């Protein structure tokens, strides 16, 4: 599958109107009390495996977020309890949704500092891969980073930019920025390559692959290059973009006129995943 105009929580597959039992903003009750022992066991298995794997591989901000939000408590988090801690930290909350939601709904939530999280968890035979994001991907992968001021503000800014891009037909470009930062971003920290993207943080296989494999290309982060680069949703990434400092992520949207850049890039071809341009700054694994 080539470039999609949908991020992991929104997309063309979603209905333009909420299905029965879903609120107008596409939220649903979490119904935490209806989760089964198997559901909680799946969370605990995934959590223990990822936390062990990610030690020393994830940005320090991620591990700090896990501790601040007390996500190591056994079982699927009760969003009501989690939101008390998260809101005190960054004024964000997590809202439960049934699955993929329309683009404008997704970005509207982000613009108002709400993160949509799937109200289901994968089955025991899906531990290693699930294309549609579940509560483990959304809460374990995204929420610890939302406890960090730079990410919290960056995500809200992406929400506003997403609504603007939807109106102006530039959602594919904004989706690429989201994909290569929020979902599959790498950064330099204390001289080492570290993970901050939720799609990698929540994936056992890609956490190894993104840092250690010789197969993917790793480029120094260049905003225009990112906005031109397609991505895949059905396989490990063929390229990653490495930001020099994790704290620079907010600067991407504060010091750039994205609308003007979109117009400039309309004159240039898109770049397929894995391709290398002569101007690229290739980095070693």
Question: Mean pLDDT in each 10-residue stretch from start to end of the chain (285 residues)?
Answer: 38 64 95 96 95 94 92 92 96 95 92 97 88 91 94 94 90 94 94 95 95 96 96 93 84 88 94 92 83
What are the C-alpha distances in Å from 12 to residues 107, 118, 181, 213? 14, 17, 21, 32
The pLDDT value recorded for residue 7 is 43
The pLDDT value recorded for residue 141 is 96
The pLDDT value recorded for residue 14 is 44
Determine the 3-state secondary structure of 269 from DSSP: coil
Residue 113's region, left for phi above 0, alpha for psi from -120 to 50, else beta, is: left
The pLDDT value recorded for residue 285 is 67
Question: For the chain, where are the alpha helices, taking DSSP H only?
Answer: 37-54, 60-68, 79-90, 103-111, 135, 143-146, 149-167, 171-178, 198-201, 204-212, 223-228, 251-254, 258-265
The pLDDT value recorded for residue 176 is 95
The pLDDT value recorded for residue 248 is 82
Can you read off the two tokens belonging to residue 53?
């794997």
pTM (2 decimals)?
0.92
Q: Which fold has domain 32-265?
A: 1.10.800
Residue 190's region, left for phi above 0, alpha for psi from -120 to 50, else beta, is: left
């Amino acid at each position: 599958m080539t470039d999609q105009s949908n991020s992991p929580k929104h997309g063309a597959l979603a209905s333009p109107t909420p299905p029965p039992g879903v609120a107008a903003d596409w939220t649903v009750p979490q119904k935490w009390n209806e989760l089964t022992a198997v559901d909680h066991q799946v969370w605990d298995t995934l959590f223990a495996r990822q936390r062990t794997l990610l030690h020393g591989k994830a940005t320090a901000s991620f591990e700090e977020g896990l501790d601040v939000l007390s996500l190591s408590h056994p079982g699927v988090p009760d969003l009501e309890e989690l939101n008390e801690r998260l809101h005190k930290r960054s004024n964000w909350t997590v809202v439960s949704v049934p699955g993929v939601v329309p683009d404008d709904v997704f970005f509207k939530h982000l613009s108002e500092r709400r993160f949509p999280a799937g109200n289901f968890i994968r089955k025991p035979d899906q531990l290693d891969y699930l294309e549609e994001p579940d509560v483990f991907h959304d809460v374990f992968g995204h929420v610890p980073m939302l406890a960090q001021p730079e990410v919290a503000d960056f995500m809200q800014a992406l929400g506003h930019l997403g609504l603007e891009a939807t109106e102006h037909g530039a959602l594919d470009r904004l989706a690429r920025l989201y994909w290569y930062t929020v979902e599959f971003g790498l950064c330099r920290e204390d001289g080492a390559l570290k993970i901050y993207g939720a799609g990698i943080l929540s994936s056992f296989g890609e956490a190894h692959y993104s840092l250690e494999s010789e197969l993917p290309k790793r480029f120094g982060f260049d905003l225009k290059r990112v906005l031109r680069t397609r991505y895949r949703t059905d396989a490990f990434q063929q390229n990653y973009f490495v930001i020099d400092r994790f704290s620079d992520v907010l600067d991407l949207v504060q010091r750039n006129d994205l609308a003007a850049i979109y117009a400039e890039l309309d004159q240039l071809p898109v770049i397929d995943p894995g391709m290398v341009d002569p101007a690229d700054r290739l980095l070693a694994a």
